[in-house]
């Protein structure tokens, strides 16, 4: 079977005041990735996006972005998996290369969430859930995650101040990331005193939404050295789903799709969780960051917070996590976040992470979550040089 490598990455800053259109955002990230790769052609492109149909009343992002990029002609389409749209777009790109049909493949994620009133964005996010059965109750997407947080804290007897360490870590890591939405150190007290959004989740438990785009260029591993001295092997791509809605699950404190996708990805990459020394997890809400550490196999249920408290997740720790700030502080333009994660891992694994660099990581894993754990894409990247 073919193997796949990342040969170039690009991303825009995440901002709630970008002033940019969807194509402008996409083109900036994609152009940067193509220039970084040094390729003179792309064979196809896959665009991750969740909300353009609802917020921008714009679909057909494949041809739209190909045209905006000056690549009209190439095969191009949009891939959607709610907030994991970037992760599933990456999966489509990997399959395109592995199929043997395409060699130089652009994967991009883009989302524009600014310029709309809060109820519009709130309604947009609820498209990740079953609108007829759950959305019709009036509960918000934050509300669903608040139910998870409440149950998690109760079941495992974990206080809010423990979970609140996750956003503190992310804000610390984002300080040195020029593309981060927030450059602001925060404390556990800041989280606990921030305005209540949906009890128990407070403002600083929640990721920042904004506009952003990220992209990377894939090539078959055996061709990658032509383009870069430091290709990063994309060793595994796995997607799993779970029952869409919380009411359909036996235990809402576990994301089974995380377990399933990460197990499949580890098998595909030929690694065990102990081999992974770099993580990007989908901390759309503080509790999800903690749960990810557990469901991906790095901690027992209820003890994920210990990894953060012990410093393991810090850049100088044994399992550096969300080293560019994660969804919380880099920002979470939903359909783009899964691509940001992979691009950030690729920068780390090629020693190009600048002031965010951790010392010599070898194997990185990203976890992109759609809905309330209903779709999860896991990717494993490996250093090659």
Contact residues toward its own copies (CB under 8 A) are 1, 21, 44, 50-54, 56-64, 66-67, 72-82, 88, 91-92, 94-96, 98-101, 123, 126-132, 135, 237-245, 248, 256-257, 260, 268, 370-371, 374-375
* Residue 239 beta carbon to its own copies: minimum distance, rounded to whole angstroms: 4
**Shortest spacing between CB 16 and its own copies, in angstroms:** 20
Is the Cβ of residue 51 or residue 307 nearer to its own copies in the bound state? Answer: 51
Cβ nearer to its own copies, comparing 139 with 203: 139
Distance CA 41, CA 153 (A): 51
Q: Which residue stretches of 216-275 are H helix?
A: 221-224, 256-269
- Pairwise CA distance, residues 219 & 99, whole Å: 12
**83 catalytic per annotation:** yes
The residue annotated as part of the active site, out of 83, 206, 266, 356, is 83
Which stretch of DSSP H or E encloses residue 30?
Answer: helix 22-37
Name the nearest CA neighbour of 284 among 337, 215, 343.
337
Identify the residue whose tokens are 């903690």.
Answer: 290
Task: Give min distance, CB of 357 to its own copies, in A.
Answer: 32
Nearer to its own copies, 77 or 156 (CB): 77
Tokens of 79: 């891939």
Known active-site residue 183: no
CA distance 114 to 121: 9
Nearer residue to its own copies within complex by CB, 27 or 307: 27
Buried b (16+ CB within 10 A) or exposed e, 172-208: bbbebbebbbbeeebebebbeebeebbebbbebbbbb
Q: Around Cβ 284, how many Cβ atoms within 10 Å?
A: 25
Name 216's bridge partners. 9, 107
Q: Which residues pair with 365 in a beta bridge?
A: 279, 380
Cβ closer to its own copies: 101 or 196? 101
Question: Smallest distance from the beta carbon of 95 to its own copies, in angstroms?
Answer: 4
In angstroms, give the least distance from the CB of 42 to its own copies: 12
Residue 208, CA distances (Å) to 20, 101, 272 in order:
17, 38, 32
Residue 362 has a CB neighbour count (10 Å cut-off) of: 13
Tell me the closest approach of the beta carbon of residue 261 to its own copies, in angstroms. 8
CB of 45 to its own copies, least distance (A): 9
CB-nearer residue toward its own copies: 98 or 188: 98
Instruction: State how far the Cα of 334 lies from the Cα of 86, in Å rounded to an integer.
Output: 8
d(CA 141, CA 129): 8
> Of 256 and 306, which has the nearer Cβ to its own copies?
256
Say if residues 7 and 37 touch (Cβ distance below 8 Å): yes
Would you tell me how many other CB atoms lie within 10 Å of the CB of residue 101? 12
Catalytic residue selected from 160, 171, 332, 379: 332
Please give the positions annotated as active site. Answer: 83, 332
């Amino acid at each position: 079977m073919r193997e796949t490598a990342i040969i170039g990455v690009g991303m825009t800053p995440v901002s709630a005041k970008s002033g940019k259109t969807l194509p402008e955002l996409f083109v900036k990230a994609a152009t940067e990735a193509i220039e970084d790769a040094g390729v003179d052609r792309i064979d196809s492109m896959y665009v991750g996006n969740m909300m353009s149909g609802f917020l921008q009343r714009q679909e057909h992002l494949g041809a739209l972005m190909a045209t905006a990029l000056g690549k009209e002609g190439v095969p191009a389409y949009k891939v959607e998996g709610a907030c994991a749209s970037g992760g599933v777009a990456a999966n489509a790109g990997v399959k395109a290369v592995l199929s043997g049909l395409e060699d130089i493949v652009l994967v991009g994620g883009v989302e524009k969430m600014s310029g709309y009133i809060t109820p519009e964005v709130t309604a947009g996010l609820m498209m990740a859930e079953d609108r007829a059965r759950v959305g019709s109750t009036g509960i918000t997407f934050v509300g669903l995650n608040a139910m998870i947080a409440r149950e998690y804290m109760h079941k495992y007897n974990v206080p809010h101040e423990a979970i609140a360490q996750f956003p503190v870590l992310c804000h610390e890591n984002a300080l040195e990331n020029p593309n981060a939405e927030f450059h602001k150190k925060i404390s556990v007290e800041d989280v606990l005193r921030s305005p209540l959004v949906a009890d128990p989740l407070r403002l600083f438990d929640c990721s920042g939404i904004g506009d952003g785009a990220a992209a990377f260029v894939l090539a078959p591993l055996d061709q990658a050295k032509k383009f870069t001295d430091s290709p990063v092997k994309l060793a595994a791509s796995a997607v799993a789903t779970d029952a869409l809605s919380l009411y359909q699950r036996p235990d809402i404190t576990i994301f089974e799709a995380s377990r399933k996708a990460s197990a499949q990805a580890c098998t595909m990459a030929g690694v065990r969780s102990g081999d992974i020394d770099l993580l990007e997890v989908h901390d759309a809400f503080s509790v999800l960051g903690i749960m990810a550490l557990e469901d991906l196999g790095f901690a027992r249920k209820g003890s994920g917070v210990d990894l953060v408290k012990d410093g393991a997740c810090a850049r100088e720790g044994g399992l550096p996590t969300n080293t560019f700030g994660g969804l919380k502080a880099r920002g979470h333009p939903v359909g783009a976040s899964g691509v940001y994660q992979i691009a950030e891992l690729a920068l780390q694994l090629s020693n190009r992470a600048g002031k965010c660099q951790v010392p010599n990581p070898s194997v990185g894993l990203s976890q992109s979550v759609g809905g309330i754990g209903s779709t999860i894409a896991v990717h494993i990247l490996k250093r090659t040089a």
